[in-house]
Structure 1
């Protein structure tokens, strides 16, 4: 069987001309690939991060696109952070390592719930029923023409660079869901299109947190909060700064205006049974045994030369497939495709496009192999591709990545705090320890 020629060196603008014609912003804030990732990692300062990360001008790592696409593993970034502080004082990197743990936590939740990540885990805790939220994403937000200087600036930054500071993400999401009463899934889809680090785990679960479909109450912010972390950069140029600003109110006043009470509306429907996340089995995944004739499948969640299957089979053929259906489904922007292309260009892979399972199977057959080696992914799409390959008679080996945090007991993923108590010792490079007890609640005086 003859394979099509590799698309590895074809410029992405030629691969996806319709996307590059639609999106004028062809390069995002970060360059793709392992070399660029290591440069960014070398600039990491976890101590300063812990002090001023909340400010829009604060020290943030901007490593998230490399983590999201597996160019850097969480364990690798964690180790780099701990190397910046004395071995006797790992707590100086505590906040940065704890923030990394959210990536691991959301990924684990996504692995359990799959496509449910696109549905409300619980009803909105706003007093409004689902029917009160519009399914039409506002064009003025999408194009940055709302007339609100902050909202329009964040829309522009998202579309032009593929980046938003975490505070800006929460503020923008809160405006979309609570002020404009738009379903959070529309905003999550918009973010996935543009963010270089967009993935359904971190992206959607944060939108659910803001919306209150995975939280006890909705997330709000006001003008005072904006000015605390962003200064006057937006208010100074906003035509509504002297009157009419929708954020210039106390939290109590905003809640009264925006919500019918911080509770679920009668008849509200949630789609997640919390027990599903209560005791998730965990054990260190075993490495498969190498076989002589395997081929390697590299997917978008692990685009690194340190890819475990590539390392296990350094002399065997490897393939990466542009998933045309997924790119259309997510409407992936040109800047995201450029980033991924730059990552893939550093890898020793034959690049194809189309139906992933079909192309990977054809690649394996062309090389006379019945074994396909790859790395894990929490995506239900990955699970479906593996099932399709196995139904064709292939053996799919999944080579595990380094573990960020191990646990001695099944994981409780209902809330991040319980998960963190279980893995925190291991996350700091120590042997797994029994879960730390919950902190006792302080009693009210008087």
Structure 2
């Protein structure tokens, strides 16, 4: 079992990372890859993904920053919120390409990431070792895997999901679909000039420098529109289901607080509302057997629970949540993911999800369409 050498789990680590982050220079340097000291990415995404740093807290943290940098950082937070809205609405349909008939099925094809290419080898190594990548290199790998190699995007995103500490179905599935053209109609093309701009030393040290397979920008056919895209992509007839409860739902007196991977932080509404109750967490054994997550992801969760245990009682279970949860009489915070159903069924008290932007019934077919329909964004 190996932990990420650079990002550790826990509310204490999250608070420290947020306090150390200055948004100044973010807009210009967020996509820088090498040298690492010049990277401007916040590295907050693992803590945001697990709500150790809620989106609203990250939003307020940069309120006094330079206008251009604050605006760009907040745009990225809104992209995360958009991904959550989309996944909450369309559910498992997000596992297929929503807008275009780009290839998505098939087994993972490791040869689609040729390790003779230094830009690919170094990034895959960072993915597998650290469990975190800057957004620029995520796009490199996704484009190389799909647009250039022609492999099905879903298996590639599964490999990302196994390793990334910030791996979420919402953002991960959306990001890979965006790479192959969903929402834009144009695939993201990976080419040498991008490496030369963001990490020129990778090209200098590459054995293929004089015969670079990505020398030219990839040219492909326009994506073919999907005819059976989900009907609720442009209008939500069940907004209350997408949003979840807007008030606390009390079914019986709780004896514990149940945490989920989507909400592990001290600011979890159920946890904050019941400070005297023990916290519980269920490692979903059937899901873990299916997903085969890397040890980095599991250790991040364990570290987070260990950190919480310094402040209150924590009880950890291993098994099927549908069997374990009903006996916990737990208060739990709604999570906008399809898998939350296995926790909601047996919950004693259900707390609302702390949305940064309230869901709406308008179009979520693209980020821009979602944003236009979102009040005050």
TM-score (norm. length: structure 1): 0.76
Change (3 A) 1:220 1:381: same
Give the match for residue 415 of structure 1.
366
Give the match for residue 215 of structure 2.
248
Q: CA deviation at 1:138?
A: 2.6
Give the match for residue 138 of structure 2.
169
Give the match for residue 146 of structure 1.
115
Give the match for residue 105 of structure 1.
82
8 Å CA contact 1:177, 1:211 repeated in 2? yes
Matches within 5 A, 1:109-258: 109-124=86-101, 130=103, 135-140=106-111, 146-230=115-199, 232-243=200-211, 245-249=212-216, 251=217, 254-255=218-219
Among 291, 294, 310, the residue aligned to 2:271: 310
8 Å CA contact 2:55, 2:356 repeated in 1? yes
Among 278, 285, 288, the residue aligned to 2:235: 278
Q: CA RMSD in A?
A: 2.5
Q: CA deviation at 1:103?
A: 0.6
Q: Deviations over 1:312-363 (max 9, x none)?
A: 1111233111111222222110111111101111233211111012112233
Give the match for residue 376 of structure 1.
334
Query: 1 CA distance for matches of 2:94 and 2:315?
Result: 32
8 Å CA contact 2:119, 2:202 repeated in 1? yes
Q: CA deviation at 1:296?
A: 1.6
Give the match for residue 256 of structure 2.
295
Change (3 A) 1:290 1:361: closer
Change (3 A) 1:228 1:402: same
**Counterpart check, 1:399 vs 2:351:** yes
Paired residues in the alignment total 365
Structure 2 gap ranges (5+): none
Q: CA deviation at 1:124?
A: 3.4
Give the match for residue 14 of structure 1.
none
Structure 1 gap ranges (5+): 1-19, 365-371, 390-394, 428-446
Q: Deviations over 1:110-139 (max 9, x none)?
A: 0111111111213336xxxx4xx7724233
**Counterpart check, 1:262 vs 2:226:** no
8 Å CA contact 1:34, 1:71 repeated in 2? yes
Query: 2 CA distance for matches of 1:396 and 1:183?
Result: 42
TM-score (norm. length: structure 2): 0.89
Q: CA deviation at 1:214?
A: 4.3
Q: CA deviation at 1:220?
A: 0.3
Helix, strand or coil for the counterpart of 1:233?
helix
8 Å CA contact 2:284, 2:319 repeated in 1? yes
Say which is worse superposed, 303-312 or 175-184, in terms of deviation. 303-312
8 Å CA contact 1:119, 1:271 repeated in 2? no
Q: CA deviation at 1:300?
A: 0.9
8 Å CA contact 1:296, 1:316 repeated in 2? yes
Give the match for residue 330 of structure 1.
291
Say which is worse superposed, 350-359 or 187-196, in terms of deviation. 350-359
Query: 2 CA distance for matches of 1:383 and 1:304?
Result: 20
Among 22, 42, 46, the residue aligned to 1:61: 42
Among 18, 21, 30, the residue aligned to 1:44: 21
Q: Deviations over 1:415-436 (max 9, x none)?
A: 11132234473x6xxxxxxxxx
Give the match for residue 440 of structure 1.
none
Q: Deviations over 1:186-232 (max 9, x none)?
A: 101000000000011100110011122443121102111221122x2
Say which is worse superposed, 149-158 or 292-301, in terms of deviation. 292-301
Give the match for residue 354 of structure 1.
319
Q: CA deviation at 1:66?
A: 0.5
Give the match for residue 392 of structure 1.
none
Query: 1 CA distance for matches of 2:207 and 2:69?
Result: 42
Helix, strand or coil for the counterpart of 1:321?
strand
Q: CA deviation at 1:290?
A: 9.3
Give the match for residue 96 of structure 1.
73
8 Å CA contact 1:296, 1:318 repeated in 2? yes
Say which is worse superposed, 347-356 or 182-191, in terms of deviation. 347-356
